[in-house]
Structure 1
Amino acid sequence: MKLTKTFKAFIESEKSGGLLLLFVTIISLTLANSSFQTTYLSIWEKDLGGHSITHWINDGLMTIFFLLIGLELEREVYHGELSNIKNAALPIMAALGGMLIPAGIFISLNHGAVTKNGAGIPMATDIAFAIGILSLLGNRVPASLKIFLTALAVIDDLGAIIVIAIFYTNSVSFVNLAIALGIWGLLFIFNRKKIHNPIPYLIGGVAMWYFMLNSGIHATITGVILAFVIPFGDGGEKSVSYKIQHFLHKPVAFLILPLFALANTAIMIDSGWHQGLTQPHTLGIILGLFIGKPLGITLFASIGVTAGLCSLPKNLKWAHIAGAGMLAGIGFTMSIFITFLAFKNPETILFSKIAILIASVLSGIFGFVYLNYILSKKQNSKLQR
């Protein structure tokens, strides 16, 4: 299975971005627990136009990240792994299991508690980190595994976005929502009229974001729905979709996601931090990501193949699926993002972030070690022939 030029560019940006995310997370945690703590934390709480810098990053810049995810999803649907229903069925089934089982584990531990809203937290996968870790294994990784993990993570993110839209909206201003959807409808007409100038779509996207922000529905949804009215054409280098996607790769990987990581991992870890890890919501996050993800992904993929709904690619084994499931347990960006929507209590948010970091680190280490063993074993068996 060959990788397209666009997919290779996406993989490369996510690979480098994932390694950068790891670096800035370590820097942020170090500064937040150093003698510069007060100064560093005050940077992110600084007021800018009535909102903190963290708020602008989470509700503003992250919309651009979701636009890129939407464009990549659009490309997968038209030209990629999701364009053929038989090929798409495997990552779809796997992603479904990777969302339902972790959410089920969380709900079983938090049933009837005020923290039950956090069920969406272990459902997500951080695509940059997951691909970043996978890339460390080098050229031994089958192309089909890279495609499977990417498709799985993109579908996971779409699932998380749907969860955000449905379950994390408290009150809705239907006037603002109607205006936002009206703008989207106008851009859809532009698309059908074959208007290929990107300016109207970008200006319309900013206007959509403003009214969506004031509608009560999380503004980052704008990024995904905007992606599907941007003209795709033949998907070639001259298409509007390709140009915007290509332009956004580096700013998202090297600016937006690192800023998000810096702002949201500025966590003060005091001497009693471990006590919070025995609470139902933190246990639900750790078990959901670290155990639920690989279990759900492998189980549902197996059910799909057994039922004849999908099939394993030629050079992909069940051991690869299990390894991808482990890497999918790296929730990080999306999980932290949903944490802010699910919880309001600062202490609950703090312990949830720590739980996400622990689960993501465990998933990354175990996924890397396991896949490294599997791929080394395969390579050795080839050499012995």
Structure 2
Amino acid sequence: MTAGPAPRIVRLLPSRFNREGRASRTGENTAAALLLAFTLLAILWANSPWDGSYWALLDTHIGLTLGADHFELTVKHLVNDGLMTFFFFLVGLEVTREFTIGELTERSRAAVPVVAALAGLVLPALIFVLVNSSGDNAHAWGVVISTDTAFLVGALAIIKPKFPGRLRLFLLTLAVVDDVGALIVIAVFYSDRIQVLPLMLAVALIAAIAMVRFLPAARGPAYAVLGFALWVALAVAGIHPTLAGVAVALLIPVFTPERQRVEQAIGVIRAFRQSPNSRYARTAARRLRESISINERLQTDFGPYVSYFVLPLFALVNAGVHLDAASLAEAFGSSLTWGIIAGLVLGKFVGITGATWFMRRTGFGRLAPGLTVKRLAGGAALSGIGFTISLFIVDIAIDDPARQDQARIGVLAASLVAFTLGWAIFRVTDWLSPPDPVGLKMIRPIDPERDHIRGNPDASLTLVEYGDFECPFCSRATGAIDEVIAHFGNRLCYVWRHFPLEREHPRAYDAARASEAAALQGRFWAMGRELFGHQDDLEWSDMYRYAVAAGCDIEQFDQDVRVQPSKVLHRVTDDAQDAEEMDLNATPTFFINGKRHKGPWDSASLIRALEAAASSRA
């Protein structure tokens, strides 16, 4: 049996999740904890006997003098207009990745979170405008449109709903669209009067940034220099300069790692191992970098700095608000505060839940296996936690300091209410529909529309195998399966699901993708036989030979695995996420009539276990 813990399948998850499984989630939880800690620090500092030092810090000027020219910003504007550019840069990288190779590449899969996100943008704004239909407050409707992803992830970690994996994936996909909408709103509605000449310069700089990908070297410095120039041009043009980060990110290329480039890097590493020298070392490092897109490298490089430095610092300079009796009474007597609370809490919950129900009910979109509207309701409530972009828009949409404090109190109150509501919904739904113990029962029933089935789909006996094509025991088990199927005939429904253990079997994931491409042509089982028969030769060049031997149209096969990979990617990760949720850690793992099989998996043992299951049903 293949021992050891199963690796997390992270290759295809949205970038917010794509950080090495449990280590990633620990990092995200730490980031959320830091954000909360600095929020509390700002509130305590602003309401302490030393509050004067807090406001003095925010108004401190930091400048740069070059000859007769002088440029300066306050600490608050340096953070909000300068450092937050890196936050929006990271958001832009994630958006680009999701629409290029991530969850948003498959229309039916993306349709539900996209529409839900749009409803979660529009309905909160409408509710806010209904409460603040006239006066200066109406301009602040953008405060209620955005969900704070860091706090959303942290809230899920604190609440710990049952089987949160796919829920988390759905919410983060939704958050990507939410971020896109927020960025558009900032660009269109919260920029100053546009200056034409600087804007034309900005357009020229954007064109230059788009050409950087064709440089043979020094692309990183080129992006940095042109990006800074774009930031200055947008600031002078009257457009919020943080959008320079988004513009640069959207023009940076992203692609899935290509095995050919990885193999080239391995070849250089092998040469370095045999003859260590600086030339081989530099070449190996360069080849390894080039095997991963600049987009993903930058996310890895910038992500920790944004999570652990930029966002906590942003919270420190923006969350400070007076919370004495007078300010609280003034805030909760203001339509601005109540409009923000109603927009974030009610608008997000009703908009996201209602849109999800509508899309599923009408068939315009589909949820990932195992997700239900009831499970998403708690996540929709948590989406009312607005912080980073909400406070960001407070600062640029409202000029009056008193009303800014009312808005900040509204954002903080709404976030607290949204967390409480989400916690209550998850607790109630988990109590009303308690999930099965982890790993003892399948969390997703057999679906003839998507599962790979041998035998009678309506049979009274079911046998589900989670395995991978590089596992020799799965190969032998598959041989045993033939005997089991022959024994039971139409009384048995056998199902194969993917569980590629990439740590132990580095080519299993690619083999699973190849089998799904063959499945699109009705050749899954034939391709499976080829893969099991050549477990020592599972490079991509070999996959094409096996596809031909399995009877596939090779041009269509190439199209599905290389040009439009989303058709096959999600089938593999759906199964792998099931295995992770059930805490499976070895292949093969069998489920008989939905219950996990314990013990040997030779044909005789499986037949005895199935006969026992049949007797218990009689």
Please state which structure has a larger fraction of its residues in helix: 1
How many residue pairs end up in the alignment?
385
Find the counterpart in structure 1 of residue 343 from structure 2.
288
- Mapped to 2, the partners of 1:318 and 1:233 lie a distance apart of 33
SS at match of 1:51: strand
% identity of equivalent residues:
32
Find the counterpart in structure 2 of residue 56 from structure 1.
78
Alignment partner of 1:37 is 2:37: no
Structure-1-length-normalised TM-score:
0.94
Contact 2:161 2:427 in 1 (8 A): no
Q: State the 1:33 CA deviation.
A: 0.8
Alignment partner of 1:253 is 2:267: no
| Structure 1 counterpart of 2:51, one-letter code | Q
Find the counterpart in structure 2 of residue 47 from structure 1.
61
Contact 1:127 1:154 in 2 (8 A): no
- Mapped to 2, the partners of 1:321 and 1:342 lie a distance apart of 32
* Cα RMSD for the two superposed structures: 2.2
- Mapped to 2, the partners of 1:2 and 1:145 lie a distance apart of 16
Whose RCO is larger (CA < 8 A, sep 6+)? 1
| Structure 1 counterpart of 2:47, one-letter code | N
- Mapped to 2, the partners of 1:305 and 1:87 lie a distance apart of 11
1:170 to 192, 196, 217: 192
Alignment partner of 1:274 is 2:326: no
1:203 to 206, 212, 225: 225
SS at match of 1:231: coil
- Mapped to 1, the partners of 2:179 and 2:329 lie a distance apart of 29
Q: State the 1:194 CA deviation.
A: 7.2
Q: State the 1:106 CA deviation.
A: 0.6
SS at match of 2:320: coil
| Structure 2 counterpart of 1:25, one-letter code | T
Task: Name the CA shift for 1:341/1:141 in 2 (closer, same or farther; >3 Å).
Answer: farther
Structure 1: stretches of 5+ with no match in the other structure: none
Find the counterpart in structure 1 of residue 255 from structure 2.
233
Find the counterpart in structure 1 of residue 107 from structure 2.
85
- Mapped to 2, the partners of 1:270 and 1:41 lie a distance apart of 16
- Identify which range, 181-190 or 235-244, moves more after superposition: 235-244
1:219 to 234, 241, 244: 241
Find the counterpart in structure 1 of residue 208 from structure 2.
186
Contact 1:21 1:261 in 2 (8 A): yes
1:325 to 371, 380, 404: 380
Task: Name the CA shift for 1:220/1:232 in 2 (closer, same or farther; >3 Å).
Answer: same
Find the counterpart in structure 1 of residue 89 from structure 2.
67
**Cα displacement string for residues 51-91 of structure 1 (whole angstroms, at most 9, x for unaligned residues):** 21011100111110011111111111122211111111111
- Identify which range, 100-109 or 191-200, moves more after superposition: 191-200
SS at match of 2:194: coil
- Mapped to 1, the partners of 2:152 and 2:163 lie a distance apart of 13
Contact 1:2 1:143 in 2 (8 A): no
Structure-2-length-normalised TM-score:
0.59
Q: State the 1:233 CA deviation.
A: 3.2
Please state which structure has a larger fraction of its residues in strand: 2
- Mapped to 2, the partners of 1:115 and 1:195 lie a distance apart of 50
Contact 1:213 1:219 in 2 (8 A): yes
Contact 1:196 1:240 in 2 (8 A): no
Q: State the 1:275 CA deviation.
A: 2.5
- Mapped to 1, the partners of 2:107 and 2:218 lie a distance apart of 29
Q: State the 1:317 CA deviation.
A: 1.2
Task: Name the CA shift for 1:168/1:315 in 2 (closer, same or farther; >3 Å).
Answer: same
Alignment partner of 1:118 is 2:140: yes
**1:90-101 aligned within 5 A:** 90-101=112-123
Contact 1:235 1:241 in 2 (8 A): no
- Mapped to 2, the partners of 1:193 and 1:77 lie a distance apart of 24
- Mapped to 1, the partners of 2:218 and 2:251 lie a distance apart of 11
- Mapped to 2, the partners of 1:48 and 1:177 lie a distance apart of 26
1:15 to 22, 26, 29: 29
Task: Name the CA shift for 1:87/1:56 in 2 (closer, same or farther; >3 Å).
Answer: same
| Structure 1 counterpart of 2:355, one-letter code | F
SS at match of 2:380: helix
Contact 1:194 1:231 in 2 (8 A): no
**1:358-377 aligned within 5 A:** 358-375=413-430
